[in-house]
Amino acid sequence: MKKAFLSGNEAAARGAWEAGVHVATAYPGTPSTEILENVSKFKEVYAEWSPNEKTAFEVALGASIAGARAMVSMKHVGLNVAADPLFSSSYTGVNGGFVIISADDPGMHSSQNEQDNRRYAKFAKIPLLEPSDSQEVHDFIKEGFEISEKFDTPVLLRLTTRVSHSKGIVKVDERKDVPLKDYKKLPEKYIILPAHAKKRHYFVEERTIKLREYANTSPLNRIEWGDRSLGIITSGISYLHAKEVFPNASFLKLGFSWPFPEKLLKEFLDGVEKAIVIEENEPFLEEEIKFLGYNVEGKKYIPLVDELSPEVVRKGVLKEELERLPDGKGVQRPPQLCPGCPHIGIFYNLWRLRATVTGDIGCYTLGALPPYRAMDTTICMGASVTNAHGFDKARGWDFTKKTVAVIGDSTFVHSGITGLADIVYNKGNSTVIILDNRITAMTGHQHHPGSGKNAKGEKTPKLDFEKLAKAIGVRKVYHVDPHKLRETRKVLREAMATEEPTVVLSERPCALLPEERKKAKERPKKVVLTDKCKGEKCMGCIKLGCPAISLRDGKAYIEPLLCVGCDLCQQVCPFDAIVEEGQNG
């Protein structure tokens, strides 16, 4: 048997491939992104980046109905976007096996909330699988396809950041090719007219009863008998943290956790003196158990907020800590836009213009942080456009002429287009800046319909933002290179002052794209002439927010390891104190 060192996400891709998956879809989102990136490397699998999670879900469901084994992966908030087809799919059921992967982000390492998507499984009445490590991700996804086909149901495989992004040793196998299932036209199953859906709802309830029975014997659930004075009921990553703190306790380890395996629980409770539930975030298992009438505690010991770790478990349950050294002082080091980032030009100018900015999600959300602090709202993907329209309708033109919406290209395609249609349709006057850096940068550079390539790196038609805006009814569309600071400011002023819907296309590729890196290597870096630099008294280049520039001994300093020679700092220095390497002014 072959062994590999895989992250949870790599293991998901590998397991799905081994299970014979035919179609895989996704929209990127940390911590789920690498699932599709890895599955797209297998030539037997059709893999796509879809424009958003709803489209991704529907494509995968369509493939399943057509007879393929299909999977869709997304981050936790992506399932909110895909919630509509999720609930319908529970009623329709599947043809080929269908696995939905939700990667949740306890601790909010890169997310806007800490929602616990186990609740979606229960809400939509579909089985829930919770692997603890890479090996289990690999094994569970295969089991997931079997369960899906056996019980005619989508299956939710729930990962969390520490499962997705931790690596461990995995025993891997070869692919088993699975033929497509026959396709039959079944209107009563796949057309959820009210009359059909009523019958399907009975089906869903019967299915749940069968799944509840099956959960008791599922190989994904097990009792580990140890010291019987303490029994721990747990699932997912929480199992590993708990095992670390209580290596000798008895465990009810749940991998198939909804519908809840009551018989197994009863056997466990009968065998231990005291039982507690250790789970991250929501009291999902605890509520199930209490509802069944058993008296166990969980959230009495374990916090609702933030991710779990061995020390949180130890503190919560045992009220103690390991002996250790005191925490050291850490300097605040928030993420920043990269040296040479196209977004710098926009946020530097929005700060200079003192604009009100409805923001969105992407690298450019960093425009909310110092030195710019040039953002007023960030709600969810797409909300910049619609929030600006709301501001406009609440406060009128005098306010709107100082307001802009800022949205990335990938985010605009994901869910900004309908908002722009709203502005035009309902006679708004907002200005929308689309930050076209040709890629989905934030999540690690995935293609999207505006980038001209697909998930396999093949060329595809590129969405034309100008034509799209014009077709929606926007009459004034401007183009700017955000690295021409003055010109950009002039265009922004003009667009904002125009009393009708306007779109500004800010066009420059992300500085981390290979072609841009190559250009950077060929360009000379910049240096500061300390005798000309007014340093602390000026702060001009510091306010640009380029991470290569810092203040050292009262003067500006450019770190040569970081500088990409883009020249933005030269544009803002009023004293000509920044020159090319090797020159001295």
Ligand X SMILES: Cc1ncc(C[n+]2csc(CCOP(=O)(O)OP(=O)(O)O)c2C)c(N)n1
Which chain residues interact with ligand SF4 by CB under 6 A?
337-341, 343, 363, 437, 441, 510-512, 526, 546, 548-549, 558, 563-569
Tell which residue, 241, 315, 235, 245, has the closest CA to residue 282: 235
Nearer of residues 53 and 288 to ligand X, judged by Cβ: 53
> What is the rounded distance in angstroms from the CA atom of residue 555 to the CA atom of residue 118?
53
Site for ligand X in 36-75 (CB under 6 A): 53, 75
Stretch that binds ligand X, among 252-260, 431-439, 501-509, 559-567 (CB under 6 A): 431-439
Query: Is residue 28 at the binding interface for ligand X, with CB under 6 A as the rule?
Result: yes
> What is the rounded distance in angstroms from the CA atom of residue 563 to the CA atom of residue 125?
53
Q: 159 in helix, strand or coil? A: strand
Of ligand X, ligand SF4, other proteins, none, which one sits near residue 558, judging by CB under 5 to 8 A according to partner kind?
Answer: ligand SF4
Tell which residue, 164, 145, 138, has the closest CA to residue 74: 164
State the nearest-atom distance from the C-beta of 66 to ligand X, in Å.
26
What are the two backbone dihedrals, phi and then psi, of residue 378, each rounded to the nearest 5 degrees? -150, 115
Stretch that binds ligand X, among 5-13, 22-30, 499-507, 512-520 (CB under 6 A): 22-30
Q: From residue 430, give the alpha-carbon distance in Å to each of 19, 392, 399, 402, 466.
A: 49, 7, 10, 9, 16
Stretch that binds ligand X, among 216-224, 362-370, 556-564, 568-576 (CB under 6 A): 362-370
Of other proteins, ligand SF4, ligand X, none, which one sits near residue 247, judging by CB under 5 to 8 A according to partner kind?
Answer: other proteins
What are the two backbone dihedrals, phi and then psi, of residue 216, each rounded to the nearest 5 degrees? -65, -25
Site for other proteins in 214-243 (CB under 8 A): 237, 240-241, 243
- The H or E element spanning position 430 is none
> What is the rounded distance in angstroms from the CA atom of residue 431 to the CA atom of residue 402?
9
**3-state helix/strand/coil string of 281-320:** CCCHHHHHHHHCCCCCECCCCCCCCCCCCHHHHHHHHHCC
Of ligand SF4, other proteins, ligand X, none, which one sits near residue 408, judging by CB under 5 to 8 A according to partner kind?
Answer: ligand X
Q: Cβ(482)–Cβ(342) under 8 Å?
A: yes
- The H or E element spanning position 231 is strand 227-235
Q: Binding string to other proteins for residues 131 to 170, with x set by CB under 8 A, is what?
A: --x---------------------------xx--xxxxx-
Q: Binding string to other proteins for residues 301 to 320, with x set by CB under 8 A, is what?
A: --------xxx--x------
Of the candidate residues 7, 409, 485, 527, the single one contacting ligand X (CB under 6 A)? 409
> What is the rounded distance in angstroms from the CA atom of residue 585 to the CA atom of residue 581?
10
Residue nearest ligand X (C-beta atom) = 408
Query: Is residue 337 at the binding interface for other proteins, with CB under 8 A as the rule?
Result: yes
Of the candidate residues 38, 135, 411, 506, the single one contacting ligand X (CB under 6 A)? 411
Of ligand X, ligand SF4, other proteins, none, which one sits near residue 404, judging by CB under 5 to 8 A according to partner kind?
Answer: none
Query: Is residue 29 at the binding interface for ligand X, with CB under 6 A as the rule?
Result: yes
> What is the rounded distance in angstroms from the CA atom of residue 569 to the CA atom of residue 578?
7
What one-character DSSP code corresponds to residue 180? P
Sheet of 227-235, strand order: 222-224, 249-254, 227-235, 275-278
Applying CB under 8 A, the site for other proteins has a residue count of: 60
Tell which residue, 260, 267, 263, has the closest CA to residue 251: 267
Residue type, 310: P
Q: Locate tokens 């708990």: which residue?
A: 242
Of ligand X, ligand SF4, other proteins, none, which one sits near residue 361, judging by CB under 5 to 8 A according to partner kind?
Answer: ligand X
Q: 208 in helix, strand or coil? A: helix
Residue numbers at the binding site for other proteins (CB under 8 A): 3, 5, 30-31, 33-34, 109-110, 133, 161-162, 165-169, 237, 240-241, 243-244, 247, 309-311, 314, 321-338, 363, 366, 370-371, 442-444, 542, 545, 547, 549-552, 559, 561
Residue numbers at the binding site for ligand X (CB under 6 A): 27-29, 53, 75, 77-78, 81, 361-364, 381, 408-411, 435, 437, 439-443
